[in-house]
Amino acid sequence: GCVLVVSVIEQLAQWHNSTVKAAMERLCNYIPGKYQIIRHMLCCIDREMNADVVCHSLKLCKQDPGQPLCHLYAPPKPCRLCELMHPSSFFFLPLQKSFTGFSSVCAFPLLDNLCEKIKYVMRNKLPFEDLDGDRFSTFPTLRGYHWRGRDCNDKNSTVYPGRRPENWDAKSDSNCNGIWGVDPKDGIPYEEKFCKGADSQGVVLLGDSAGAHFHIPPEWMTVTQMSAKSFANLPVAFTDELDWPQFSEITGFLNSTIGGWTDSLYLRLRRRNRCNHRDLQNISQNGGSSGNLLSLIKSLARNQLLDNPAIVIYATIGNDVCNGNRDTLAHMTTPKEMLSNVLQALRYLDSRLPNGSHVILTGLVDGRFLWDNLHDRYHPLGQLNRDVTYSQLYSFLDCLQVSPCSGWLTPNETLRNLTSERALQLSSVLKDIARSEKFANFDIFYMDFPLRQTAEEWHKMGGEPWQLIEPVDGFHPSQIAAALGTSITWQKALHEWPQVLGKENPFNDQIEALFKDQGGH
């Protein structure tokens, strides 16, 4: 974090031909008020000190005994390093002591309360603001309606998205799909007229950071594009854990503001049957794997007796083989563990999902695509001076033992191949489960993660493979990849499992017309 912020300030000074102090003030003025923690942090950038040297000087970065010195930039010569580390290089050395007293970013004034909220959400994976306890919220972030359909009455726990309508919603909207009341022409409730027998169903994602749609905006660290507008979305990003589920491949429902376009399984199900409005749940977490999904799954909100069936996408596409450990292979999920974890999750779903639901198991990705298409390209931090490639970034993160995937983000081709081999073994486990296991309340299907088809489709559209990868972390699918993946998944389902998608509702146009007449949204 320190290396990132210091790098941006140094590049701002270079780009605007200003002093470092002026560049620091410029960045502080870009960032919304209570997030300006860097004012407490930066005190000693000057001369030719690169970000690594500054952060080690501040003791925000350290070298543990017996461990290598981790650096993003080429290290200065030893004699130069001693000169740069001398106290005369610093602006305000006393600030060093005050900063190192903070144990984490959450110790900063104004952020402690927000951090407590985020810790609650991270611990429980439930909406922070949920007055009636039905696991749905009227607040967007902190696991609110960006993650689950928006509640339409947060004071009544029997009103929430996805439930079967109470008395056909003649008097009020009990399932939040916007369809309620009685047609004065014939006295029939609109919900009964338009949605009875329409195969209404929700969509649920059980996934990882790819499913939650992890994204760090590149304009946060690309000084040639940076302005106050660049950080306008920082509060939303921070309180959504740097995830953007509202634009994601499975549960996206808002027009993308982070590039590309939004296309999702939820939007397509909604277009197919307008009665499915708001029936979505994105139960994903950064670092999600088949193992920790067993606790995450308990935040599912589905009542077997009162709610509509659901399509559940089980997609932990990488973290069972991805970790930041030096001996990464030893920490990967084994096929036996994968079988046990997934079967436990499916048994839990069978106890919670209404009859007539569907589960789609998604195979793991072949992450060799990442190194092959990014390693020699410049990272956003390195574009101004052409001094940081993705290969350097991956090595830096690996040295710190915080790499999102030591097995794939490495120059070691043998290790990359072994990681993909394990991923293929785990995908085979999922395929076998879909072929052999039966459950009372849902049928089960398998599909490969459609990376190859996505790349081919993007190539036909004139795109480059690297554009399918998030530019800042160099690891996750980009917004373009998410939208294209939706199209490919939908076509597969239409041709191979049409029963999963349900039939098209012939009353969709009438529902939209009714909505407009009532001033709906």
CA atoms of 4 and 9, how far apart (whole Å): 9
Would you kindly state where each structural domain of the chain is located, as residue ranges? 1-74, 190-515
What's the pLDDT band for 35 if we cut at 50, 70, 90?
low
What's the pLDDT band for 50 if we cut at 50, 70, 90?
confident
Cβ neighbors of 288 (< 8 A, separation 6 or more) are 207, 208, 209, 211, 212, 296, 316, 319
Q: What is the pLDDT of residue 40?
A: 53
Quick one: average pLDDT of 122-137? 92
Residue pair 361/430 in contact by the 8 Å Cβ criterion? yes
CA atoms of 359 and 443, how far apart (whole Å): 6
- Residue 437 confidence (pLDDT) above 60: yes
> Tens digit of pLDDT for each residue in 57-77?
878 888 889 999 999 998 776
Residue pair 73/37 in contact by the 8 Å Cβ criterion? no
- Residue 202 confidence (pLDDT) above 60: yes
Residue of higher predicted confidence among 88 and 261:
261
Quick one: average pLDDT of 463-484? 98
Using CA atoms, how far residue 33 sits from 10, 216, 226, 366, 458, in Å, is: 21, 20, 17, 42, 40
What's the pLDDT band for 484 if we cut at 50, 70, 90?
very high
Quick one: average pLDDT of 503-511? 95
Q: What's the CATH architecture for 190-515?
A: 3-Layer(aba) Sandwich (3.40)
Residue pair 492/449 in contact by the 8 Å Cβ criterion? no
Q: Which of 31-35, 367-371, 479-483 bottoms out in mean pLDDT, i.e. has the lowest?
A: 31-35
Q: What is the pLDDT of residue 20?
A: 86
Q: What is the pLDDT of residue 56?
A: 84
What's the pLDDT band for 53 if we cut at 50, 70, 90?
confident
> Tens digit of pLDDT for each residue in 441-455?
999 999 999 999 999
Structural tokens at position 391: 């290969």
Largest interatomic CA distance in the chain: 90
- Residue 37 confidence (pLDDT) above 70: no
Residue closest to 246 by CA, chosen among 283, 269, 213, 272: 213
Amino acid letter for position 407: G
Query: In 10 A of CB 483, how many CB atoms?
Result: 21
What's the pLDDT band for 31 if we cut at 50, 70, 90?
confident
Active-site residue, 209 included: yes
Q: What is the pLDDT of residue 237?
A: 95
> Tens digit of pLDDT for each residue in 297-344?
999 999 999 999 999 999 999 999 999 999 999 999 999 999 999 999
- Residue 401 confidence (pLDDT) above 60: yes
Catalytic residue chosen out of the listed positions 57, 89, 137, 209:
209
> Tens digit of pLDDT for each residue in 142-189?
999 999 999 999 999 999 999 999 999 999 999 999 999 999 999 999
Structural tokens at position 96: 């060093």
pLDDT > 90 fraction of the chain, expressed in percent and rounded: 78
Q: What is the pLDDT of residue 89?
A: 42
- Residue 190 confidence (pLDDT) above 70: yes
> Tens digit of pLDDT for each residue in 368-397?
999 999 999 999 999 999 999 999 999 999
Q: What is the pLDDT of residue 514?
A: 82
What's the pLDDT band for 276 if we cut at 50, 70, 90?
very high
- SS3 (DSSP) at 193: helix
Q: Which of 14-23, 313-322, 366-375, 499-508 bottoms out in mean pLDDT, i.e. has the lowest?
A: 14-23
What's the pLDDT band for 95 if we cut at 50, 70, 90?
very low
The whole-model pTM stands at 0.92
Q: What is the pLDDT of residue 108?
A: 59
Q: What is the pLDDT of residue 115?
A: 75
Give the mean pLDDT of the chain.
90
- Residue 520 confidence (pLDDT) above 90: no
- Residue 91 confidence (pLDDT) above 60: no
Using CA atoms, how far residue 378 sits from 195, 221, 382, 389, 502, in Å, is: 52, 13, 6, 4, 45
Residue of higher predicted confidence among 54 and 109:
54
